Amino acid sequence: MRKYLNRYGDKFTFSLDENGDILWEGNFEYCTITMPNDYREAHRVYLLDNCFSDHCLSFEDFKNAIHEYDDVKKEYKMGLKYVKLVTSRTDKIDCVDPSGGPYIGVGANMQTFGFKDFIVEDFERIKTGYKIITKKCEYCGKAGETHKMSCPTQKIQINL
């Protein structure tokens, strides 16, 4: 278990569970969480509007293009229509930010807290705080930079 004192002197602990996820416990009374934007409805409408066009933006490209703003015309390049359809997801947490820190977001490396190459993939609210769901190896399911002996990525490394 790793201990962490934030700038207000609040104590947080991080402990690894048997699945390779990290339990982040402490006082989350004053805590901001953000949820990612939900572009699904906006993209669906966009596809309907453009169904006869042969160069529709993919979901990933659409997410960026929708925010492009024309500073001269003072308007969204794709129009306000789609921007208005972007909502906030309520089923997914993007980052957790207790008052006084630490700020931890999806994609962060937990190395700072003593978990080398454990990458944050998701958060789950638990009674005592948050469970940080970490990115797992797609072959053996292990988190961080470790792999099972039987993992094909290990064999590739040995053969090199």
Which residues in this chain contact Zn ion in the complex, by CB under 5 A? 137, 139-140, 147, 151, 153
The nearest distance, CB 157 to Zn ion, in angstroms, is 10
Residue 86 CA: distances (Å) to CA of 7, 12, 16, 75, 146: 35, 34, 36, 16, 38
For Zn ion, the closer of residues 135 and 147 by Cβ is: 147
> CA-to-CA distance for 79 and 67, rounded, in angstroms?
10
The nearest distance, CB 52 to Zn ion, in angstroms, is 45
Q: Which H helix or E strand runs over 11?
A: strand 11-16
For Zn ion, the closer of residues 13 and 153 by Cβ is: 153
What does residue 123 show for φ and ψ, rounded to 5 degrees? -125, 145
The nearest distance, CB 1 to Zn ion, in angstroms, is 25
